[in-house]
Amino acid sequence: MTTATVNSIHGGDLHQASREFGFPLDQWMDLSTGIAPWAWPIADIPSHIWHRLPAEQCPLERAAADFYGCDNAAILALPGSQFAIRSLPYLYNLCRVALPARGYFEHEKAWREAGHCCVNYHDTALNHLDREVRTGNVDIVLVVNPNNPTTAVLDRERLLEWADILKQRGGCLIVDEAFMDVDETMSLSRSCPRPGLIVLRSLGKFFGLAGLRVGFLLSDEKVKFWLKKRMGPWAVSGPAQFLGVLALQDAQWHRQQRERIKEVAIMQHSLISSVLEGLNKPEEMRVAKGPLFISVFIASDKAATIFRGLARRGIWLRRFDYPDSQQGCLRFGLVKNIDQRRRLQLGLEDIVGEWL
């Protein structure tokens, strides 16, 4: 396993995009995040909810337990899963933590800042990590499942086995399932609570409610109690709790959202693959379909040219550069409608045309 420097910018910063490329803020097509382009439609919030301090989080946690298929006792509502990401490193004595070399960088940042020894693994070479877990060379393993931006999905049975092994040595497995809502097949949420296993969920991606700041910790009683105490009272606002319950209970909207996400992801994967295939030999490029984004792994210089070419046309992507590789990644969030699809297609075709 290697250690690597991490990328340190987030998607969705159109101010940065405008500063760099001069397009007015309201004319960007923002494909730089993995947030669904269709948000759950916000309901009216009764005025008493604004007026009072937030009540206990029970209704929100019950709705989440139903949605994630876990025991009610396993769940704690949070002001975004980011709160757990920043806090969990302080629950453990300094130890060895395995984190994805390509993955949501906030995890590694938090563990490093807390002083832990971070080692990276590649989700294309899991046998090595498997050995490290079995030989006790790592105490904590962090998995983003499905991973952002690699799109890798790790198998449930393997992860549960790791959780059991790590638990025996006082460690644990942490699984960030921020992107699991589109297809729950590999989710570990329904296995919670289970000692040695911590799962994080978010209303930011599938529900398109990143601004609401609601996420969940799924864990055993000890971890849940520790985080609850650290969080203190009223951390999740009353309006966020009210809307969160309604969003989690809206089964018809969940069905519609899953269908359109799957349909657009397939279409966009095929569009990007077919346009970019003119530029690259198949072995030099990989176009991967994630739950809420398409990731293109390609030589860093080509990634930079496509990124800048699309930005000059007002299309903002997320670009990842990896210091340990010549290959970079471009992540395309899903388009919202046919007009956006056309704009993306024309932009990509223009760039390929200029190149050839």
> Cβ closer to ligand PLP: 178 or 271?
178
Report if residue 57 touches ligand PLP, rule: CB under 6 A.
no
Which of 30, 61, 108, 176: binder of ligand PLP (CB under 6 A)?
A: 176
> Cβ closer to ligand PLP: 149 or 314?
149
Which of 80, 171, 291, 347: binder of ligand PLP (CB under 6 A)?
A: 80
Q: Which helix (H) or strand (E) holds 223?
A: helix 221-231
Q: Provide, rounded to whole angstroms, the least separation between the CB of residue 234 and ligand PLP.
A: 18
Neighbours of 259 (CB within 10 A): 10
Helix pair 238-249, 58-68: axis angle to 10 deg: 30
What span, in angstroms and rounded, lies between the C-alpha atoms of 235 and 245? Answer: 16
Neighbours of 338 (CB within 10 A): 8
Report if residue 104 touches ligand PLP, rule: CB under 6 A.
yes
Q: Which stretch binds ligand PLP (CB under 6 A): 22-30, 79-87, 164-172, 277-285?
A: 79-87
Helix-strand-coil split of the chain, %, nearest 5 = 45, 15, 40
Per DSSP, helices labelled H in 69-213 are: 81-87, 105-113, 126-134, 156-168
Closest CA to 105 of 147, 152, 162: 147
Q: Which stretch binds ligand PLP (CB under 6 A): 14-22, 54-62, 75-83, 219-227?
A: 75-83
Angle CA(110)–CA(205)–CA(266) in degrees, nearest 5?
A: 120
Q: Which stretch binds ligand PLP (CB under 6 A): 78-86, 134-142, 189-197, 266-274?
A: 78-86
Report if residue 215 touches ligand PLP, rule: CB under 6 A.
yes
Q: Which stretch binds ligand PLP (CB under 6 A): 74-82, 122-130, 324-332, 340-348?
A: 74-82
Report if residue 163 touches ligand PLP, rule: CB under 6 A.
no
Report if residue 150 touches ligand PLP, rule: CB under 6 A.
no
Q: Is the peptide bond before 37 cis (omega within 30 degrees of 0)?
A: no
Which of 74, 99, 129, 144: binder of ligand PLP (CB under 6 A)?
A: 144
Q: Are 175 and 188 in contact (CB under 8 A)?
A: yes
Report if residue 82 touches ligand PLP, rule: CB under 6 A.
yes
Report if residue 36 touches ligand PLP, rule: CB under 6 A.
no
Give contact residues for ligand PLP (rule: CB under 6 A): 34, 80-82, 104, 144, 148, 176, 178, 202, 204, 210, 215
